[in-house]
């Protein structure tokens, strides 16, 4: 069953806080849920499908359904880290098309800035990869750094080119009053920031922020009746990449497959995309996904992003016009939700005027969960303003 | 000689017990499949290539090449995390030690070494081959 055209994004909400020491995680989920429903012109009573991931407290949909006092007839808590929420949209669209729900609510929230998570997010000794990796301190930045190092070795990518991803994000973030980092930075600011794990500097890494976001997906005819622009799902794809029994290849991500599936379903090409939200946990994450989605050839990502290539209004492709995870927000250390939210703002013509892409009728949202080097899940959505 | 630090030790499982015993005896071993003849990483009882359960542990050369690496710089005790491509094929995640950590680079030859781990375990690591 294709999800093309079967559902529309009727409501979005990004929590304005970046630090929320006095709120519970469930409360943050409830606040973003209320925000997205208000944006859609719907209420909690209209929700009959609910989706959340590992950031939700307790038993996910079970705990949150009680907290929100709702009784959904379809729910799902797929957890692939930061890409979970795009996968929820695909799953929700399938549920809507199958008649299992009419109004699907997806929430994300967390407070890693106020309360750093204990440990590394590892699920315990039963996790089959754990004992083979844990002794070697596979912190998240280390695993992305090795992908970047190999990219540089294979393709001649430079630290200056990676830095341009952050520079573009800061250009956009200066217009976002909620962004955690609003100061413009230069390539040399990035290169002069402390080295975290070679070749990644501190400013190659995204922020750690509290907050969250939510999204409401409905039948298109319902979305149209609510008075907002109809932002329709046109294509979607998901894929997992791992170490393949020891056949490791750090030159591409699962965005190769998730992107191809989404473009195929949407019957459009990268050149048709007017705006792209590209998951930016680290600068290298953006670079490889741009290549893997086909916005440029493999190995040419450095050239694509350099010299303001991702800055709205001046570059080759407007990317992450909210400031992205690098400058705006990475709530609960999971960036997929905010990627979709900014894509919807662009399609509605509701992005900040300084970064709004003119006549933005086709947009892409791309997310990556897990770690680029070891195992990750990629998800791609193509969205269209009808 | 390169000084090796005391390494963090993992919780092990019945599936992996022989690997860690071999490491304690100074041998790096891989799980090989007798049906398709391939070694794999990380080790499992069921071959990830052909799903055969006819797998066995074999000691390997311990020689390899750095596929990728990163010098991680916490305030104290910097270390190199790396993927090492073993002579026998599989690529594994490890730490590489050398007199000068900043000189560790992709393409260098490395060989296995055995570091003491917490709780009297022995943890395989790698050192640059010409040091």
Reply yes or no on whether the pLDDT at A121 is more than 60.
Answer: no
Model confidence pLDDT, tens digit, residues A162-184: 999 999 999 999 999 999 999 99
pLDDT of residue A305: 98
Site from A144, A241, A246 to mutate, B interface, most B CB atoms within 10 angstroms? A246
Name the interface residues of B facing A (CB cutoff 8 Å). Answer: 7-13, 16, 38-44, 48-49, 67-73, 79, 81-83, 85, 89-95, 106-107, 117, 123, 125
- The residue assigned the tokens 């703002």 is A345
* Number of helices and strands in chain A (H, E): 12, 12
Chain B contact set for A125 (CB, 8 A): 10-11, 13
Please give the structure tokens belonging to residue A250.
């750090």
- What SS3 state is found at A111? coil
Q: What is the DSSP string of A288-304?
A: HHHHHHTSS-TT-HHHH
Tell me if chain B has a CB within 8 Å of the CB of A153.
yes
pLDDT of residue A119: 52
- What SS3 state is found at A68? helix
Q: What torsion do the CA atoms of B18, B22, B23, B26 make, to the nearest 10 degrees?
A: 180
Are A134 and B8 within 8 A, CB to CB?
yes
Tell me if chain B has a CB within 8 Å of the CB of A119.
no
Listing from the earlier edge strand, what are the strands of the sheet with B55-59? B39-40, B29-33, B55-59
Q: What is the DSSP string of A169-204?
A: HHHHHTT-TT-S--S---HHHHHHSPEEETTEEGGG
Distance in angstroms (rounded) separating the CA atoms of residues A325 and A340: 12
Calculate how close chain B gets to A362, using CA atoms only, in Å.
Answer: 37
Model confidence pLDDT, tens digit, residues A349-372: 999 999 999 999 999 999 999 999
Q: Is residue A385 within 8 Å of residue A360, measured between CB atoms?
A: yes
Distance in angstroms (rounded) separating the CA atoms of residues A363 and A382: 6
Cβ neighbours around A119 below 10 Å, total: 8
Residue B7 is given by DSSP the state: B
Please give the structure tokens belonging to residue B96.
């590489």
Counted across chains A and B, CB pairs separated by less than 8 A come out at 114
Are A197 and B43 within 8 A, CB to CB?
no
Average pLDDT rounded to a whole number, residues B51-65: 98
**Which of B41, B69, B79 faces A146 most closely, judged by CB atoms?**
B69
Are A250 and B83 within 8 A, CB to CB?
yes
Are B11 and A133 within 8 A, CB to CB?
no
How far does Cα A161 stand from its chain's mean position? 22
Categorize the per-residue pLDDT at B76 as very low, low, confident or very high, splitting at 50, 70 and 90.
confident
Average pLDDT rounded to a whole number, residues A314-328: 98
Q: Is residue A9 within 8 Å of residue A231, measured between CB atoms?
A: yes
Calculate how close chain A gets to B9, using CA atoms only, in Å.
Answer: 6
Model confidence pLDDT, tens digit, residues A85-105: 999 999 999 999 999 999 999
How far does Cα B49 stand from its chain's mean position? 20
Q: What torsion do the CA atoms of B14, B19, B21, B25 make, to the nearest 10 degrees?
A: 180
Tell me if chain B has a CB within 8 Å of the CB of A154.
no
Model confidence pLDDT, tens digit, residues A281-299: 999 999 999 999 999 999 9
pLDDT of residue A116: 78
Model confidence pLDDT, tens digit, residues A202-254: 999 999 999 999 999 999 999 999 988 999 999 999 999 999 999 999 999 99
Are B13 and A125 within 8 A, CB to CB?
yes
The residues in A 184-223 lying below 8 A from B, measured between CB atoms, are 194-200
* R_g (Cα) of chain B, nearest Å: 15
Within 13 A of A362's CA, how many CA atoms are on the CB side? 15
- What SS3 state is found at A221? helix
Tell me if chain B has a CB within 8 Å of the CB of A130.
yes
Tell me: cis bond preceding B42? Omega within 30 of 0 counts.
yes
**Which of A128, A137, A194 faces B79 most closely, judged by CB atoms?**
A137
Residues of chain B with pLDDT > 90: what percent? Answer: 92
pLDDT of residue A124: 65
Tell me: cis bond preceding A268? Omega within 30 of 0 counts.
no
Q: Residue B1: which residues within 8 A CB-CB, separation 6 or more?
A: none
Distance in angstroms (rounded) separating the CA atoms of residues B30 and A162: 37
Within 13 A of A150's CA, how many CA atoms are on the CB side? 23
**Which of A197, A243, A247 faces B70 most closely, judged by CB atoms?**
A197
Calculate how close chain B gets to A250, using CA atoms only, in Å.
Answer: 8
Distance in angstroms (rounded) separating the CA atoms of residues A269 and B128: 46
Distance in angstroms (rounded) separating the CA atoms of residues A2 and A5: 8
Residues belonging to chain B: 131
Site from A135, A240, A374 to mutate, B interface, most B CB atoms within 10 angstroms? A135
Reply yes or no on whether the pLDDT at A118 is more than 70.
Answer: no
Distance in angstroms (rounded) separating the CA atoms of residues A161 and B32: 42
Distance in angstroms (rounded) separating the CA atoms of residues A171 and A189: 13
Model confidence pLDDT, tens digit, residues A4-32: 999 999 999 999 999 999 999 999 999 99
Question: Distances from the Cα of A17 to the Cαs of A110, A178, A277, in angstroms?
Answer: 11, 7, 21
Which parts of chain A are beta strand (E)? Answer: 8-14, 49-51, 74-76, 103-110, 195-197, 200-201, 211-218, 231-241, 275-278, 318-319, 362-371, 375-385
Distance in angstroms (rounded) separating the CA atoms of residues A149 and A152: 5
Model confidence pLDDT, tens digit, residues A367-383: 999 999 999 999 999 99
Cβ neighbours around A220 below 10 Å, total: 18
Please give the structure tokens belonging to residue A280.
């930016």
Are B43 and A194 within 8 A, CB to CB?
no
Categorize the per-residue pLDDT at A1 as very low, low, confident or very high, splitting at 50, 70 and 90.
confident
How far does Cα B79 stand from its chain's mean position? 15
Is the Cα dihedral A347, A353, A356, A357 positive or negative?
Answer: positive
pLDDT of residue A126: 77
């Amino acid at each position: 069953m294709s999800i093309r055209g079967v559902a529309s994004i009727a409501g979005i909400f990004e929590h304005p806080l970046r630090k929320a020491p006095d709120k519970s995680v469930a409360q943050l989920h409830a606040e973003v849920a209320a925000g997205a429903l208000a944006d859609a012109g719907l209420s909690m009573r209209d929700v009959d499908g609910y989706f959340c991931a590992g950031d939700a407290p307790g038993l996910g949909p079970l705990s949150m359904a009680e907290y929100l006092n709702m009784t959904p007839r379809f729910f799902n808590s797929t957890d692939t880290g930061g890409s979970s929420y795009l996968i929820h949209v695909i799953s929700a669209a399938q549920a809507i098309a199958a008649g299992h729900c009419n109004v699907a609510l997806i929430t994300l929230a967390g407070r890693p800035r106020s309360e750093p998570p204990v440990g590394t997010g590892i699920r315990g000794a039963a996790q089959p990869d754990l004992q083979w990796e844990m002794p070697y301190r596979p912190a998240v930045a280390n695993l992305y750094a090795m992908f970047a190092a190999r990219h540089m070795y294979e393709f001649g990518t430079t630290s200056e080119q990676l830095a341009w991803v952050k520079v573009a994000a800061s250009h956009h973030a200066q217009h976002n009053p909620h962004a955690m980092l609003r100061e413009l930075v230069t390539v040399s600011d990035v290169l002069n920031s402390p080295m975290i794990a070679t070749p990644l500097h501190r400013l190659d890494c995204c922020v750690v922020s509290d907050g969250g976001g939510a999204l409401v997906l409905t039948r298109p005819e319902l979305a149209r009746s609510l008075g907002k622009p109809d932002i329709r799902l046109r294509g979607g794809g998901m894929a997992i990449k791992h170490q393949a029994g020891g056949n490791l290849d750090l030159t591409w991500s699962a965005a190769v497959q998730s992107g191809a599936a989404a473009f195929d379903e949407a019957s459009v090409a990268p050149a048709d995309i007017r705006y792209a939200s590209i998951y930016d946990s680290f600068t290298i994450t953006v670079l490889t996904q741009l290549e893997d989605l086909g916005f440029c050839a493999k190995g040419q990502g450095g050239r694509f992003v350099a010299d303001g290539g991702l800055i709205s209004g001046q570059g080759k492709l407007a990317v992450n016009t909210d400031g992205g995870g690098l400058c705006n927000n990475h709530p609960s250390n999971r960036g997929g939700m905010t990627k979709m939210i900014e894509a919807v703002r662009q399609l509605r013509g509701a992005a900040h005027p300084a970064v709004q892409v003119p006549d933005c009728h086709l947009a892409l949202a791309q997310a990556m969960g897990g770690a680029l080097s070891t195992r990750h899940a990629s998800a791609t959505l193509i969205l269209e303003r009808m | 000689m390169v000084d090796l630090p005391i390494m963090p030790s993992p919780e092990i499982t019945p599936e992996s017990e022989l690997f860690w015993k071999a490491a304690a005896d100074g041998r790096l071993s891989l799980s090989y499949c007798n049906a398709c003849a391939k070694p794999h990483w990380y080790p499992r009882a069921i071959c990830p290539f052909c799903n055969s359960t006819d797998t066995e542990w074999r000691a390997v050369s311990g020689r390899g090449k750095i596929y990728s690496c990163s010098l991680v710089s916490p305030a104290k005790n910097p270390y190199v995390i790396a993927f090492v491509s073993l002579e026998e094929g599989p690529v594994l995640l490890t730490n590489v030690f050398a007199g000068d950590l900043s000189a560790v680079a992709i393409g260098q030859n490395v060989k296995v070494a055995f570091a003491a781990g917490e709780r009297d375990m022995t943890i395989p690591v790698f050192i640059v081959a010409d040091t």
